[in-house]
Each structure stands twice: as structure tokens, then as C-alpha cells.
Structure 1
């Protein structure tokens, strides 16, 4: 801790009893942005409370390696957060990875910068949130960006703290993928963040990697050591601290402070006071947990745990949303994948990055994606249609109905969470990005160090199953095109529905006990029969006559085969959101359009939990834009008070 470390980190005991103008609960993606921007004003005091620490090291700066979730404490990856058994996935469990530490998810994510399509925010506007239309958010995207990859683009920012570059992989299959997607009616596009770009296409993606091949995170861009040292007189970064509850009064509509304790588990509680505002940025799981612990949320939750009800808000924790993915993998030669790093060549690539910031270790795990809308796919041949049957344009990205519901990513690696031993894969990775189902975040007990209970929404809605099924067929169609494209190396579809089941079985049998199916539900599912029986019946139909059912194509694979496959392999894409949604009505939402929690004048939330509808993009860009806008809202509110 400061002054014995190079970064000025403070402990809970060092800030106990002190008063700050602004207290920011959570030093993740949004928290770094807000702390940095508010502390630009030297006349205010800012406190950041973060469960993790800084831990800025070589591994955390190396783009590809820092995406390895299994490095655990080195990257402050939290691996003990699990979903409840998922009825839509054979009652197995999902590990819901998170990062504890300054910078949050931007310390581990794929560094992909996707604003979302204008139609995403048109949908927010149509929900009555007129202050959050795309034209309202675009200035904040520009403010954040330094779009090095698009130096002449008038629609992109060029002076912001997040440098954005594009890269191409040195693998031959990338050229053949481009040919495959064009055969299915998609155009090659350079910039998914250009508001005039089409709603569907094959896009090169921007990545937040600097000129030296290092990860750019919210920590490095906004709250790095230089910033923290220069502002240490009025900015305090308190790490190893967990907020246990807010000191909130519904009658006055004020939050006067935050009760905190050490994340190490020591029982002593401390208290910090807020002179102006408390801004919660703890993420889609921990933000609703803190509100519930503070008596802000559904009445039944407070009654169940004996927590005095401060403000009844039924939507707290009630609408968890996420993108989730279905791995489709082809076996290729190691030299055509990141698996080459597992050979002696790995030493060469490490030295190349260490001394020159170049090579595979300086890249993201993906650089290209297809965005499509399943409603625009001709199911007879998987061709993407630019106009619908009524002649309406399917490519106008400003219209909410055209928002893509599927992203198909291309990765030179395996895309399942655990290794598939003895195989080298590249992935065609369909992801559901406009899910209809929703889950919940609830308390397990009143201990702020406990993980909340998370009901994950995987395949809880029939429309999601239909969309995902078509996405799998589309991915298999792309795989088929790649296999018959003239690609000069051996390649076979190996990990997909209707293929040799031994690989999938071996991988599934290697699962740790935490992944395994939970107990039988005590009530029937929404389909009127037990979900496990549905899975068993489907599996029996698939395994009958198995030898004649292998090596299926996108056209010959059955819906049953796809469904059982999806239930076995689908997993989170780590874009948790929507658990404290923005709404003009406190019965259906938690924050208003100024991000203030309904019923409170000085309590705001600014993280993915406020998304009223999950956008069709990777969530780093929109959450940073929300954070930047939150700062302007806070400053405007206090400027107005001073003038009165």
C-alpha cells in the first residue's frame, strides 16, 4: 500500500471516516473513466473503491496472453462465480468469469472496440429513452477514440485516450474466409463503427492495442500510475475494499456514505462519507447485489434476508442479459492457428513481442466478424438478402428492426473454455447478440463477500433457440464453403453437430465437477415436461443409428442434432448487462435517464447494468460512453446547484 508501492493504492483503514465529494464504487471499466474525468477538477475529492488491486505486470500488458482466463491471480481473474444449473443447457452450470482489479474487464477482454449499430440506440429511443439515441452518444464515442486505423474518417474520434488499430493474421485461411462470406451475399467492410456502415457484413474490427503492441485498458488509458500520482492530493484509489452496503435514506433521497470492508475477509467494517454523490460501477452482478444489501430492490428480497427496505425497486437484479456463443471448430494445421505458440516457436514469438511489440502475442484473439440478422437469411441456401419480401432495405443500420441478432467471429484457436487435447482448431463462432431471454441476480445471504445467486438466461426463450439454431447452420455453411474453397491445407469440420461424437464426448467428460448437471428441478419446465427428459429424448434420437449420421453438412444436420449440441457446448460471451436497467418508470427500471437511482438525488449507476436493452456489440465501447456521459451529467447537476 501507498507510500510503499509505486502506485498510490490505499487500504480501507486508510480512508476510514474520511469525506469525499464523490465516491465511486468499483474501479472497473466505467469506474476508471469516471474517476479520471471527475478528478480533472482539482477542487473536488474523489475516492475509488475496488475489490481487487492494480497488479500491472508484463502478462497483463501482453494482448493475447492477457486473455487467458486460467491465469487466475496473475490477472486477478475471478473464477469462483457460477450460474445456477441451467434448464436450457441440460442443467449444467456456466462459469461466469470476471476480473477484480483496476480496469476491470478491459484487463482481460479481447480489446474489441465496437460502438454498436445506430439501430441499437434507436431501440433505446423507442423505449422512451430519448436522451440516449445514437446522436446523443456519438460525441462520447468520438471523445474516447483515437482511431489510428481510420485516420481520414470524419465519423471517428482522433484525440481520445483509446488508440484503435486493426490487424490481420498471418494465416492463409483468412483469405479463403473472405471469399466464403462473399459467396453468401455479404460485403467486406472496413469499419463497423462508421454510422453509415451497413447493418450486415464481414467487418475488420478495431482493437485497443498501442503502437508498441501493448493492451490498452481503462486502467492504462484513464487511471494509470502517472494520473494517480499527479492527482493523489484529491484522488484516492482504495483497493482490497468491498462495499458492504450504502447508507441510504429514502425520505431525504440521499446516500450519505458507503460501508466497506477488506476483500481479504477481515470482519472489521469501515465507513466513508460522500459530500456530493455516490456512483456505483460494480458491474451487472455486483451492482444489483450492493443495492439489495442496502435495502434497495424487490420487497421480497429484503423480507427474506431481514434487510430493512429502504426503497422498493422491483427491477433490481431482475433482467440479466448476456451474449452467448456456440463453438463451431475446424481442425487445421498448427501453423495456421495460435496453437503454434505451444511449440518451440512460442519462444520466438515471446521475444518478438518483448523487444519489438510485434507478432502473434501482440494481437487479439480475433480480428474479423460477420454481423447478420437471422430474419435476412434465406434458410434454403443461407444466402443473406439485402432486401426483404416487401422490398425494404435490410442494410440500413439506423433502423432498430435491422439490428443484427447474430455475430459470427473467426478465431485462429479453440473457442471452448477447456482445451480439447490432441487437436488444433480454428473457430467459426456464432454468438447470439440480441437475446430475448433474461435471467436474475439475487442474494445468497447478507455477506458482501459472497457471490450472488445468478440465474443465467441461456436458451430460456424459444426465439433464442430458433435464432441460435439458424446461426449454427450459417456457421456450418461457411465451414463448408471454406472446405471447398481451394484452401491448400488439410481442414475438416470436427467440433460441430452431426460430426464424430468422440471428440465432444471426451471434452465433455473432462469437465470439472462444478460444470456438471445440477439436481432435477422440483417443478415442470415452461414446456410442461422436465427439461432433463427433453434432453434425454433428443439425445436418444440422435444416437440411434449414429454411424450413418456422422459428417453431416449444414443442410443434412437435423434440428434435434443442433439443439442437443447447443445445450452441451454453449457458453457466455461475458457481456453481462441489464440488471439495473434505465427506464422512465421505477416499476420497470432502476435508474432514470440521468442514471440516478429512482428515489435518490445523489446515487447513480454507470456500468453495463443500466443498459435497457443489450446492444449488438462487444460492450467496452458503450459502457465507456455511458461513463463519459455520466460525468457530464454529474458536473452539470452540481454546476446548476452552485448557480442556485
Structure 2
């Protein structure tokens, strides 16, 4: 009998088998979905390797408690970037600011700590993957049904929402704070229509939409772990699906075929914490394939530790190069965000939970007894999206979309009843005596690209992460337009009688002042992508071209694929949780279909 945990069938490094059909590296958002699909067949054996623990506590399921800004850090991997050359630090100088990048560090990955947003993006996004990136089969017609396959929505609408899948999502019937409704009315006044369903493939590309969230019918966070690998599934499949936690993949094991082709044969595993446990390292063979689902940092890391990546970088670290693949770890993108903030009534702000203990106690009781209240509230509930070229010099929409040739937005404005910038390390101090309301201005189509590199051949050593924010000057113009539109939303909300006092805003709307604000009042949105991008290997538009083909196979290597947000050809103009699961669904479909 296998030594499974009585609560959940986790295995330790000591107890896994020596060989499996499929080895999945990373039990995050995509890895959980892929493990579910591959292990559905009674004839397939699957090993899922996750560097973090299960960590399935009560607090980790409460929507507000479990998000990245409110968590205790036990479910999170924090990585500090290199100093960003274009950002201003607390000393007022450019090039001194570092940014903290967070990803999930437990089974379920970032879906355990994110804002639970379920948005797919517009069909034109995926059609561009096919036409511009050369990813055949990844156009909207090729991926639409994969979104629907896993979805269990609160309503069923043909070709829009399904209820037969595992992953629950829903909208909230009402906004929890007055400021959200006021933002909707302000957007409509400015000519940005209200969109009732942000996930409808027929909705207009520009407007204001209520968001969908991965929250289940019991008012709990519904992560990829809870959806695809809950206890019932894990126990029912425990003979063929083995979930090994607190374990890292130190490298892929490779050999040369007689033809000279490089073949991945398995993985070398070790404990996440060096010296933990009784087994220091184990080799496990894959009869069929290894699939990397370790995310935009972990997947390129494993490839590079295995000698697959940019040759000069690997040589500098003393790693034997088995396959020179320059795009590995390159083309890192993120949705860069810039904030403007205002003071409002404390009762209309999420800040009241932190500054007024009695408010927190009341809300805790409301959640426990009735499943209502602020603990159920995601920080984000609404999004305004448009294209910067639709706006005039004051940030006002002046062109109709019918006369506009862009079918996708390039900016998104997210109202929050909280402060939306990361002012850590900037020198900006926010008094907490009044309520806070802010607009996070998000760059949806960044031109800047960064890198992920190794600091050492040691698999436990920190990575060198450089998002290179604002390194391409073209990123400033759309952010300026977004800031001006945010201030016009503020003006309109004030005119309607909503009291908002400027707190953290640029000193003027001149380009120079806006640019200085962009460099200072900013943040990551945690939408890291494209470090193992899918596309044409020789695509000169991207650094090194691509890492995987349209079947997610690593170029020049047999027996290994990548299936997570690192394969996005570029960061999509939407939140990345739902597209990551779609990639896992597509990968499973191809593997099980013999592709």
C-alpha cells in the first residue's frame, strides 16, 4: 500500500516510482489542469512535481484573505528584480528601484493568491497568435471550446459560457462600493459603453465591464487546485496520479539518439529545501513525455539548468550546453501599471478593514454566517478598456470605434477602493486616516521586453529577473493617454457628486510630469509571460525567435513540451489566469490525440 497522506494523497520524494508515462514539472495553474486531463485515462501514469506544499488552510480559501497583498507569504514565491533603469526609486534617482515579483508557491500556483479574475480576452487576440506568430490552430476557432471545456459558470449561454466543467466562475450581482458604480456612469458619460459580459466573444473591444471571478458556490476561492485536483479526484486516481510536493526538478535528463537528436528521458529531482528529507536526489524516467508547467520563471530555469538555452549565458555559468536555444528566458513581458489615487470616505474604502478593527470583526461574522460582506470582495471588480489612439490630447474619447482600425485595446483602467500602486521603495507615503480610491492604468500591449537568467548552476539559487520596464520608449504614450482618461473619469465622478480629493496624482498633465509619474507611481500586475514563447523559431521580431512550436514542443529537443503562460507569443491583452488553463487544455488535447 502506498504511504499516502490520509487527508490528501501527497507523496514524498522517497516514495515515488522510478518511471511514469508523463512527468509534469510544476503543479500551478496550468499544471493542475494538465494533470487532471492526462490522468483521466486509466492507462496513463502521471507524476506531478510541485516545489511548494499543499497548504490548503481555511484562510487560503477566503477570497480576500488569500490574495497576494493579504496573505502571510507562505503560499508565495517572492523574487526581487534587478534595479530597473527607467524607474525612479525613493532617492529620486532613476535606476535604483527594484520590483518584487510574486508567483504562487503551492499546489495551484498563482491561482491560489491572485485576484481570481476570469477573463479570456477577445477572439482577435488569438487570431493574431495564429496569423502574426504562426501558431497554427491557436486562433479563436481553435481555442474557444477549450475555454468552455473547463468552465462551470453561474449561467449557461451557448458559445459563451458553459456549466459542464470543473472550474467555477461567477459575477457579483452588485458592486460592494459606491465608487465602482460611479465609475461605470462616468465611463458611459465619456462615451465608453457598459459591457454586461466581459467574456462574450461578441462584446465591443472598448468599454466598461464588470469582471468575472473564480469563486465557488460556497463563496470560496476556486483555484486550479480546487477545480482540477481536489481531494476526491486525487484519491480516486491515486494509483496512477502521484503528486509529489516540496520537490524541485534540478534538471532534465537527456541523451542523444543515434540520429544525433537530443531526447529528454526524465528528470532529476531533489527536495526544495536543500538537505530536507532522507533522499537528496532521485532520477525518474518518462516513458512518453516531460511537460514543463513551472511558469514564466520556472520553465526557462529548468531548461537552462539542463543546458538548453542561450549558449553564451550557460557557458558563463559553467553549464554544459546540450542545445543552443537563444529565446529561452528572453522576451519576458508583464502588464505594467501606473496609479493615480484619491481620498474618499473611509466607509466606502477597503482600507476600513485594516484601520478599524470593529469593521473587520463585523465583516468576519457576516462572511462566516451568511457568506456575504467584504471578505468575499476581490479588490478589483470593474475594468475600463480602450485604445489610446481613440483619445484626444485631454484623454477624452473622440473617435468612434466604427471608424477605427484597431480591434484590440491597448490600455485598461481598473478602479479600486484601495491604493493600487506599489509605493514600496519610492519614497511616497500614503496617510491611512482617510479612505482610498484609485485607478490602476495598465499597459496591455507593452513593447518592452526583459529576461530571466540563472545566477548559478545551483537550482535553488535565486534567478536574475529583469522585466526591463519602460525600456522601449513607445510604452510611454499609451500610459500618458490612460492617465489623462483616469483624470477625466475623476472629473466626471466629481461632477456627479462623488467626493474625491486628489491624493497621489501627477503635478500636471504635461508630458514631462506624466512621464515622471509613470516612472515612479507604478507596479507589476504579476502577468509574466513569453519566456518560452510559441512561434516561428526564426522570427526576427523577437529576441531569439521562439522556444516552442504550435504543438508546444521545444525546438530541437524530443520528449519535452512547455504548457503555461511562458508560451504566450506575447502577453495577451487580458488577465492571464484563464488563458493559462486554456493552454493546458490544448496541450492535453494534442498529447492524447497523438499530436
TM-score normalised over the length of structure 2: 0.92
8 Å CA contact 1:72–1:78 kept in 2: the answer is no
In structure 2, distance between residues paired with 1:238 and 1:263: 11
C-alpha displacement of 1:366: 1.2
Is 1:258 matched with 2:272? no
- Partner of residue 80 from structure 2, selected from 65, 79, 82: 82
C-alpha displacement of 1:393: 4.2
* Equivalent position SS for 2:275: coil
Is 1:563 matched with 2:577? no
C-alpha displacement of 1:265: 1.5
CA shift digits 1:150-202 (9 cap, x unpaired): 43454222211122211132322233212210121110011121111100010
Q: 1:11 to 1:355 in 2, by over 3 A?
A: same
C-alpha displacement of 1:228: 0.9
In structure 2, distance between residues paired with 1:566 and 1:252: 48
* Equivalent position SS for 2:385: strand
For residue 298 of structure 2, what is the aligned residue in structure 1? Answer: 286
* Equivalent position SS for 1:96: strand
8 Å CA contact 2:68–2:114 kept in 1: the answer is no
8 Å CA contact 2:331–2:531 kept in 1: the answer is yes
For residue 218 of structure 2, what is the aligned residue in structure 1? Answer: 212
* Equivalent position SS for 2:490: helix
8 Å CA contact 1:214–1:357 kept in 2: the answer is no
C-alpha displacement of 1:322: 0.6
C-alpha displacement of 1:2: 5.0
- Partner of residue 574 from structure 1, selected from 517, 526, 540: 526
CA shift digits 1:515-537 (9 cap, x unpaired): xxxxxxxxxxxxxxxxxxxxxxx
8 Å CA contact 1:328–1:427 kept in 2: the answer is yes
For residue 451 of structure 2, what is the aligned residue in structure 1? Answer: 440
- Partner of residue 357 from structure 1, selected from 368, 371, 388: 371
* Equivalent position SS for 2:557: coil
Q: 1:5 to 1:94 in 2, by over 3 A?
A: farther
For residue 304 of structure 1, what is the aligned residue in structure 2? Answer: 316
C-alpha displacement of 1:402: 2.0
CA shift digits 1:241-292 (9 cap, x unpaired): 0111000235343211101111112282221111110000011011111101
- Partner of residue 414 from structure 2, selected from 409, 419, 424: 409
- Partner of residue 561 from structure 2, selected from 593, 604, 610: 604
Give 5+ residue unaligned stretches, structure 1: 395-400, 499-551, 639-644
CA shift digits 1:403-429 (9 cap, x unpaired): 111111111111133583424211111
C-alpha displacement of 1:365: 1.2
In structure 1, distance between residues paired with 2:249 and 2:490: 48
- Partner of residue 576 from structure 2, selected from 606, 619, 636: 619
Q: 1:311 to 1:381 in 2, by over 3 A?
A: closer
8 Å CA contact 1:50–1:242 kept in 2: the answer is yes
In structure 2, distance between residues paired with 1:289 and 1:70: 28
In structure 2, distance between residues paired with 1:323 and 1:420: 24
8 Å CA contact 2:167–2:228 kept in 1: the answer is no
Q: Give the count of matched residue pairs.
A: 566
Identify which range, 465-474 or 419-428, moves more after superposition.
419-428
- Partner of residue 320 from structure 1, selected from 327, 332, 335: 332
8 Å CA contact 2:150–2:165 kept in 1: the answer is yes
8 Å CA contact 1:212–1:358 kept in 2: the answer is no
8 Å CA contact 1:436–1:464 kept in 2: the answer is yes
Q: 1:304 to 1:68 in 2, by over 3 A?
A: closer
* Equivalent position SS for 2:66: helix
For residue 632 of structure 1, what is the aligned residue in structure 2? Answer: 589
* Equivalent position SS for 1:21: strand
8 Å CA contact 1:428–1:479 kept in 2: the answer is no
In structure 1, distance between residues paired with 2:4 and 2:311: 45
For residue 28 of structure 1, what is the aligned residue in structure 2? Answer: 28
Q: 1:73 to 1:378 in 2, by over 3 A?
A: closer
* Equivalent position SS for 1:591: coil
C-alpha displacement of 1:72: 3.3
C-alpha displacement of 1:321: 0.6
For residue 493 of structure 1, what is the aligned residue in structure 2? Answer: 502
- Partner of residue 164 from structure 1, selected from 166, 169, 172: 169
Within a 5 Å distance, the mapping from 1:502-581 to structure 2 comes to: 552=508, 557-581=509-533
In structure 1, distance between residues paired with 2:150 and 2:86: 38
Q: Which structure's residues are more often helix, by fraction? A: 1
C-alpha displacement of 1:593: 0.5
CA shift digits 1:617-643 (9 cap, x unpaired): 0001111001001001111127xxxxx
Stretches of 4+ moved more than 6 A in 1?
A: none
For residue 10 of structure 1, what is the aligned residue in structure 2? Answer: 11
Is 1:99 matched with 2:109? no
For residue 239 of structure 1, what is the aligned residue in structure 2? Answer: 245
TM-score normalised over the length of structure 1: 0.85
* Equivalent position SS for 1:326: strand
Is 1:340 matched with 2:355? no
In structure 1, distance between residues paired with 2:320 and 2:451: 21
